Structure 1
Amino acid sequence: MNPQLPLSLGLILALALTGCREQPAAASPSAQARWLEVPALPIVQGAVINLVDMQAPHKNPKVMAQLCALAKGDIQQEHANAFIKQQGGDALAIPQQGHLFSLLVNGDRKTQFSACAAYVANSVLSPLNLAELVAPHPVSEPGDKGKNPVPPPSQIDHAKLLASLPNRLAIAQANAELFALIATELQHRPGLTFGQYRQLSIEMFIQLAPDYLQRVKEHTPASSTEFKILNLDNQNFTFIGSNQTLFSYDYSGLRLQQNGIIWLGDGKLLGKDYFLKVAYLPEKAKQLSRIPTP
């Protein structure tokens, strides 16, 4: 669908509520002079990655697919219970926390949404797992007597890869929007520490998790959109879309371009730099001014 669709109701309300926030106490000019201006993107992005590790450290694709379907209402609890049984478990014996299947049975909708959303967002913030895209090997002919057959070389299932590109693009576009929204709110709270900004980012992402998943759905490109893979290896994954988009992931992270504008990456969100005023070692920083000039 068109990425210019209106924001979902939750995001609109969140934007409106930013004007109703509690105003932080003004810091002294001397304290403000010691704040560091730090790009917001790595802080927000790192917070989402941390949230995945907190709520879904196993990152099991099959379990997360069930969890996302359950959170969004695509399946009912009995379907999740049947899945657990297929995996050799018993839904009635699963503890509420600490088990691979806990989020599938504990009814904690808020955490189900946030774990799913963080997992989805993180799926384009990590290197492409080529092992998941390897085509199944054909049955090899037996070799010479006494020798093990040599397996054929692994090949990427390009049909499967191409089918995944619309979803990857939609996720990256939704990431850019939500990260920019969080960064905007964080800018209204200057003088916090790295840890405080990271925790706030986590809490804001959790609050907006259902809206984020809806935006991913709304960003799904039209079926007529064509994609072309430019590079695919362990160091770089790049593709372009006929909707004027470029998606690239390498050692430096994700970079998304929309109509030639950096939509996410290189420290930018929606084509703009977002900086936070961070209180770095605030107590120690006061002592620096006491060091005499040589």
Structure 2
Amino acid sequence: MTLGGCDMTDSGHKLTPPTKDNAVTMASLPLIQNTLSVMAPAFGGSRNDIIMEQVCALAQGSKTQAQFDQFFASKNIALQKLAALDSGFAMLADNDLGKKQASCMAHIASSPSLSNIELTDNKEKLAQQLSYKMQVITTNAEFFSLIAEKIESTPATSIAQRKQEIIQQASALSPLYFVILAKNAPQNVHYDVVQLHNTFSLSGSDGYTLSLANNVVTLRLQNINWYGEGELLGKRYFTKVLLPSTE
């Protein structure tokens, strides 16, 4: 069979034969992003910011388990009965703090997008919304790089197993996520906002620039990719995965 227009011998770019175990190298950032997005809890098939406010309050220590339970009791919401509906309600009914910390972390980490930014001509209000996005993205850059470092050096495994490994790493490190998030809270930073239709750019006096276009988020620090375009903290991470075999 001849492929017209494709010269695989003289171009200098020969096809690499597949390895015996079908191992390939994959960019880590989109794999981590996708895994944490799926990891974020849903209730009846949808994200719920009001419920997650309560989960995050408990996860970060600003509410006790008793206060958490009282909130749902005051709304006549029987968590134990709802637990059978899906994993989100099961997480609410479970008194395991670690699960709530992991759920809160995944919810916040997977939240940055244009979907919940209010389009407004009030530059001060828009800057406030976007500055929180910048805080989360900056935290994601640092947190995701920790996970990327760990999976970069491990032996090749299936994509499903790699995703499970990311979930395990992210869950174990979730208390650290909140520490990093608090550290990255903006302090005495002046922001300049540029808004053009559905494209936003936020530049901070601390050297960070956040861009959101077509629901794609990019954060740069002193003109270096800090988060986005496959890079974290100015570095491109990869991990090895095994593709299915025909044998």
* Unpaired stretches in structure 1, ≥5 consecutive residues: 1-28, 135-154, 287-294
Asked if 1 retains the 8 angstrom alpha-carbon contact of 2:210 and 2:218, the reply is: yes
Aligned with 1:118 (options 106, 116, 123): 106
**1:230 equivalent in structure 2:** 194
Distance 1:41 1:249, change over 3 A: same
**2:232 equivalent in structure 1:** 269
TM-score after normalising by structure 2: 0.81
Shift of 1:228: 1.8
Asked if 1 retains the 8 angstrom alpha-carbon contact of 2:127 and 2:202, the reply is: no
| CA–CA distance in structure 2, aligned partners of residues 38 and 206 of structure 1 | 22
Shift of 1:276: 1.7
Asked if 2 retains the 8 angstrom alpha-carbon contact of 1:128 and 1:237, the reply is: no
Structure 2 SS opposite 1:238: strand
* 1:80 partnered with 2:68: yes
**1:188 equivalent in structure 2:** 153
User: Which digits, 9 at most, give the CA deviation of each residue in 1:117-144, with x for residues without a partner?
Assistant: 00000111x33324xx37xxxxxxxxxx
* 1:98 partnered with 2:96: no
**1:259 equivalent in structure 2:** 222
Number of aligned pairs? Answer: 229
Report percent identity of matched pairs. Answer: 26
Structure 2 SS opposite 1:190: coil
Q: CA RMSD in A?
A: 2.7
Determine which structure has the larger strand proportion and give its number: 2
Aligned with 1:70 (options 41, 58, 74): 58
| CA–CA distance in structure 2, aligned partners of residues 48 and 232 of structure 1 | 30
Asked if 2 retains the 8 angstrom alpha-carbon contact of 1:165 and 1:227, the reply is: no
* 1:244 partnered with 2:207: yes
User: Which digits, 9 at most, give the CA deviation of each residue in 1:60-109, with x for residues without a partner?
Assistant: 11111111001111012333234224434256x64445366554443121
Q: How does 1:1-294 map to 2 (within 5 A)?
A: 30-31=19-20, 34-53=22-41, 57-90=45-78, 94-98=81-85, 102-124=90-112, 126-130=113-117, 133=118, 155=120, 158-222=123-187, 224-231=188-195, 233-234=197-198, 236-251=199-214, 253-281=216-244, 283-284=245-246
TM-score after normalising by structure 1: 0.69
Shift of 1:249: 2.0
| CA–CA distance in structure 1, aligned partners of residues 91 and 156 of structure 2 | 36
Shift of 1:39: 0.9
Asked if 2 retains the 8 angstrom alpha-carbon contact of 1:80 and 1:104, the reply is: no
Asked if 2 retains the 8 angstrom alpha-carbon contact of 1:97 and 1:103, the reply is: no
